[in-house]
Amino acid sequence: MIRDYRDQAANERTFLAWVRTGIAVIAFGFVIEKFNLFVLTIANTSSLDAGRRLQLDRLSGPLGRYDGLALILLGIALLVLSTTRFVRTGRLLADQGTYPVRGVRAELLFSMLLLLIVGGFSTYLVLA
């Protein structure tokens, strides 16, 4: 029997939840990148009038070009952070010592960054 199995299992469940979140963020970033590529392709190959072409160019503007990449990089950073925390927490659980609880600043920072990116992209799509 594994000593303190419940704590080890909780650590693993938390790690897997962060991995799922990171993969979802990366996938959403790819979707945004593909959407931007689709819009640019339509704007360049289609015989649209100038007003419609301008609308498509605005839709794939500077925010649309870098928003997907930002989400992909944020998802990769989430995976790296979650792996680091999983290994560190596993070592602390195996040590059986008493340690102070560390802050959750990194998780809050990533959550706020994700909120800003998704909110900014959503606002941009509504206004474009």
Res 128: pLDDT: 62
Listed by start position, the domains of the chain span 5-127
Give the pTM.
0.71
**Region for residue 47 given its phi and psi (left: phi exceeds 0; alpha: psi -120 to 50; beta: otherwise):** beta
Mean pLDDT along residues 21-41: 84
Q: Which two tokens stand for residue 59?
A: 């839709």
The model's pLDDT over 43-99, given as tens digits with 9 standing for 90+, comes to: 677 666 777 666 666 666 666 667 788 889 989 998 998 999 899 888 888 887 777
d(CA 85, CA 99): 15
